[in-house]
């Protein structure tokens, strides 16, 4: 805890998510250390810029309470560590995480997919690990430059081994309160595993179909055929979650469809990764859920088919 | 029957299929009338050219027993009519068919998909209707110019209302014998409906995936992910056929996979249609099988998902 009484944050990764939420926390008075490989020099020179309907930000290490580091080696442990790197960098995230975790550190996985908290818990034994799911339309448009388009709620729940509901814990409440004070809507959930499956209800159809069909969410929703396919995929994820002991309320699929239709036209993160030639988060978003559901006796047939199309496209993109 | 004792043929459509099989029959001494809208002038001037590992052909209306017509109005009925237009032109095919069907005429649907014989039987009441399924790698590369790459077998069965097996009928035997004498391998089948489902085992995965993933059969088979998806789709078609009372022998899926792997790299017809901006045969190859299986209580989940992706891509291509 700093002298101001505010929790200090380390943000691993300066992609759209790390940049946006880290900047909001810094603007609210938290000391925020960013760990950013490629963006470090740019931010030291020019600052971290966020454009947002909720107010633009330009934070500079000389004037504001932000620091920029290229690595975590030699850094002290911090109160809260936000892990905001892609799940495709899991080994690197584990390596960066270890030095900044000490007694009482809360680690928050601001990542997509299933079993991501398990991975961090193994890398940081003894830490309190939260899952944070961002429902936000946000793009990184250049070094140290993030454009926030719409939404922004972070849903927070505490991870416990075995995926039982942990309840709304003090750590969840503390991080949620910090976010709210920084102007970021936060939801506290008692059951993280169900929350993760709910997030997949959106991620599985839109991420994959946007890549396979080279289309944004608006195009996918405007065509009755793909709208029906999105809905089928969503219902399949809901059924898989129920088979794994994480029932999702009826009506959630319709809510997701309606919310997405009302969104600013948007390219999901996997589409941006694909177009930029970056690795896709296929394990966390597709392979792991399919395997977890299969172990519970449920075959995610449509999801598996979409996953196989994505594997083909990613492998071909790597060859070209 | 002509003076030579050989059956006379009318071929409706001068795409790859009509051009190739019509040319083979003409070269074997049958009088063959082609009905070709856009190619008529070219063939009258230059002839019909077929390149094939089984021997090249160049047939000219002045020298050979071929005729080229732009329409069937005013033509006499013929012994056999091969319908070799896309199923997307069903109304036009019915209109062209009527004048050339008389007593004893045999109509052969050299078309893809399910229920295509029913459509022709309605357009030509009283005619004997056969289904002909071509297992052939063949491309039309220009007006009146067909390139035959590999294979060529035509599987023939007679259509009867209600889809019961008709047995190997005299009409099936007669057309098969003509094809064989023309150097085209022919298979006579007793059960056309099962034959149509067997053909879908190949058509459903390769046609759709080649369009959605912009890939040839060789690429789809070389990647383990898409090879597994192809196999899953094939097994789904086999299960659908069984639900509709048309069991397909175990081992057929493996046979199709192995045959396709051994093929010259090949773009399925739907891929060629898509790349050329032509309509796709989505009703005959996807919508109808899905609906027929659903009526029998079987959900073709993967096929339906692929169909919806294809609908999206076709609609977008039409808008662009």
CB of B118 within 8 Å of any CB in chain A?
Answer: no
CB of B75 within 8 Å of any CB in chain A?
Answer: no
Mean pLDDT for the stretch of residues B252-275: 92
Question: A318: distance to nearest CA of chain B, Å?
Answer: 13
CB of A305 within 8 Å of any CB in chain B?
Answer: yes
Per-residue pLDDT at A52: 97
Mean pLDDT for the stretch of residues B254-277: 91
CB of A302 within 8 Å of any CB in chain B?
Answer: yes
Mean pLDDT for the stretch of residues A82-92: 94
Quote the DSSP letter at residue A54.
T
CB of A229 within 8 Å of any CB in chain B?
Answer: yes
Kindly tell me if the per-residue pLDDT of A293 is higher than 70. yes
Tokens of A35: 């760990």
- Which of A219, A225, A312 minimises the CB distance to B226? A312
Kindly tell me if the per-residue pLDDT of B1 is higher than 60. no
Decide if B307 and A225 are in contact by the 8 Å CB cutoff: yes
Kindly tell me if the per-residue pLDDT of B122 is higher than 70. yes
Query: Which tens digit of pLDDT belongs to each residue from A228-246?
Result: 999 999 999 999 999 999 9
Q: How confident is the model at residue B93 (pLDDT cuts 50, 70, 90)?
A: very high
Helix-strand-coil split of chain B, %, nearest 5: 45, 20, 35
Q: Which residue has the higher pLDDT, B308 or B265?
A: B308
Q: Which residue has the higher pLDDT, B127 or A62?
A: B127
pTM: 0.92
d(Cα B128, Cα B122) in Å, to the nearest integer?
Answer: 11
Query: Which tens digit of pLDDT belongs to each residue from A158-185?
Result: 999 888 999 999 999 999 999 999 999 9
CB pairs A-B closer than 8 Å: 74
Cβ count near B166 (within 10 Å): 19
Kindly tell me if the per-residue pLDDT of B188 is higher than 70. yes
Per-residue pLDDT at B2: 59
Average pLDDT of chain B, as a whole number: 95
Residue of A nearest to B304 (CA): A229
Residue of A nearest to B214 (CA): A313
Tokens of A293: 């559901």
Q: What is the 3-state secondary structure (H, E, C) of chain B?
A: CCCCCCCCEEEECCCHHHHHHHHHHHHCCCCEEEECCCCHHHHHHHCEEEECCCCCEEECCCCCCEEEECCCCCCCCCCEEEECCCHHHHHHHHHHHHHHCCCCCEEEECCCCCCHHHHHHHHCCCCEEEEEEEEEEEEEEECCEEEEEEEEEEEEEECCCCCCCCCCCHHHHHHHHHHHHCCCCEEECCCHHHHHHHHHHHHHHHHHHHHHCCCCHHHHHHCHHHHHHHHHHHHHHHHHHHHCCCCCCCCHHHHHHHHHHHCCCCCCHHHHHHHCCCCCCHHHHHHHHHHHHHHCCCCCHHHHHHHHHHHHHHHHHHHC
Q: How confident is the model at residue A275 (pLDDT cuts 50, 70, 90)?
A: very high
Which of B217, B229, B290, B302 should one mutate to test binding to chain A, selecting the residue with the greatest count of A CBs within 10 A? B229
Radius of gyration of the CA atoms of chain A, in A: 19
Provide φ and ψ at A100, rounded to 5°. Answer: -95, 10
Residue numbers of B annotated as active site: 199
CB of A300 within 8 Å of any CB in chain B?
Answer: no
Per-residue pLDDT at B4: 67
Mean pLDDT for the stretch of residues B24-49: 96
Per-residue pLDDT at A1: 57
Decide if A302 and B306 are in contact by the 8 Å CB cutoff: no
Interface of B with A in 176-215 (CB under 8 A): 209, 212-213, 215
Q: How confident is the model at residue B176 (pLDDT cuts 50, 70, 90)?
A: very high
Provide φ and ψ at B154, rounded to 5°. Answer: -110, 125
Q: Is B277 left (phi over 0), alpha (psi -120 to 50) or beta?
A: left
Mean pLDDT for the stretch of residues B73-79: 97
Average pLDDT of chain A, as a whole number: 95
Percent of residues, chain A, with pLDDT higher than 70: 99
d(Cα B235, Cα B229) in Å, to the nearest integer?
Answer: 10
| Contacting residues of A for B312, CB less than 8 Å apart | 213, 215, 219-220, 223, 225-226
Decide if A228 and B305 are in contact by the 8 Å CB cutoff: no
Decide if B212 and A212 are in contact by the 8 Å CB cutoff: yes
A128-142 and A145-158 beta bridge pairing: antiparallel
CB of B223 within 8 Å of any CB in chain A?
Answer: yes
Per-residue pLDDT at B250: 85
Indicate the length of chain B as a whole number.
Answer: 320
Q: How confident is the model at residue A39 (pLDDT cuts 50, 70, 90)?
A: very high
Which of B208, B219, B221, B309 should one mutate to test binding to chain A, selecting the residue with the greatest count of A CBs within 10 A? B309
Question: A302: distance to nearest CA of chain B, Å?
Answer: 6
Is residue B234 within 8 Å of B282, Cβ to Cβ?
no
Per-residue pLDDT at A2: 59
Decide if B312 and A215 are in contact by the 8 Å CB cutoff: yes
Identify the CA nearest to A206 among candidates A230, A240, A231: A230
CB of B222 within 8 Å of any CB in chain A?
Answer: no
d(Cα B261, Cα B220) in Å, to the nearest integer?
Answer: 9
Residue of B nearest to A230 (CA): B305
Q: How confident is the model at residue A21 (pLDDT cuts 50, 70, 90)?
A: very high
Cβ count near A34 (within 10 Å): 29
Kindly tell me if the per-residue pLDDT of B3 is higher than 60. no
d(Cα B202, Cα B53) in Å, to the nearest integer?
Answer: 23
Per-residue pLDDT at A3: 56
End-to-end CA distance of chain A: 49
Question: B211: distance to nearest CA of chain A, Å?
Answer: 10
Kindly tell me if the per-residue pLDDT of B264 is higher than 90. no
Per-residue pLDDT at B109: 98
Kindly tell me if the per-residue pLDDT of A310 is higher than 80. yes
Percent of residues, chain B, with pLDDT higher than 90: 89
Per-residue pLDDT at A198: 96
CB of A27 within 8 Å of any CB in chain B?
Answer: no
Residue of B nearest to A236 (CA): B301
Kindly tell me if the per-residue pLDDT of B86 is higher than 70. yes
CB of B302 within 8 Å of any CB in chain A?
Answer: yes
Query: Which tens digit of pLDDT belongs to each residue from A245-256?
Result: 999 998 999 999
Mean pLDDT for the stretch of residues A108-121: 96
Question: B224: distance to nearest CA of chain A, Å?
Answer: 8
Please report where in the chains the tokens 């050299």 appear, as a residue: B110
Decide if B316 and A220 are in contact by the 8 Å CB cutoff: no
Mean pLDDT for the stretch of residues B153-180: 96
Q: What is the 3-state secondary structure (H, E, C) of A96-125?
A: HHHHHCCCCCEEEECCCCCCHHHHHHHHCC
Triad B78, B48, B151: Cα angle to 5°: 85
Decide if B302 and A305 are in contact by the 8 Å CB cutoff: yes
CB of A24 within 8 Å of any CB in chain B?
Answer: no
């Amino acid at each position: 805890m700093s002298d101001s009484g505010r929790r200090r944050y380390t943000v691993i990764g300066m992609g759209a998510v790390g940049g946006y939420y880290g900047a909001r926390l810094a603007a609210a008075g938290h000391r925020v250390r960013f760990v950013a490989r490629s963006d470090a020099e740019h931010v030291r020179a020019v600052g971290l810029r966020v454009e947002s309907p909720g107010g633009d930000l330009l934070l500079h290490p000389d004037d504001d309470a932000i620091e920029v580091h290229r690595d975590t080696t030699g850094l002290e442990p911090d109160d809260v560590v936000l892990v905001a790197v892609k799940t495709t960098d899991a080994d690197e995230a584990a390596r960066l995480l270890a030095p900044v975790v000490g007694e009482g550190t809360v680690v928050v996985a601001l990542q997509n997919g299933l079993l991501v908290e398990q991975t961090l818990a193994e890398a940081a034994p003894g830490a309190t690990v939260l899952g944070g799911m961002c429902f936000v339309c946000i793009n990184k448009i250049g070094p140290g430059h993030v454009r926030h388009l719409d939404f922004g709620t972070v849903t927070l729940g505490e991870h416990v081994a075995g995926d039982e509901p942990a309840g709304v814990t003090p750590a969840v409440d503390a991080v949620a309160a910090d976010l709210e004070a920084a102007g970021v809507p936060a939801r506290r959930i008692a059951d993280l595993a169900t929350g993760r499956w709910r997030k997949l209800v959106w991620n599985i159809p839109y991420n994959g179909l946007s890549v396979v069909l080279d289309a944004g969410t608006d195009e996918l929703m405007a065509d009755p055929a793909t709208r029906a396919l999105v809905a089928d995929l969503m219902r399949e994820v809901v059924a898989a979650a129920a088979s794994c002991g994480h029932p999702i309320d009826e009506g959630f699929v319709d809510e997701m469809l309606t919310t997405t239709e009302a969104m600013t036209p948007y390219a999901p993160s996997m589409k941006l990764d694909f177009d930029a030639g970056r690795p896709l988060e296929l394990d966390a978003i597709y392979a792991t859920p399919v395997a977890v559901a299969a172990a519970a006796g449920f075959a995610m047939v449509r999801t598996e088919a979409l996953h196989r199309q994505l594997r083909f496209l990613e492998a071909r993109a790597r060859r070209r």
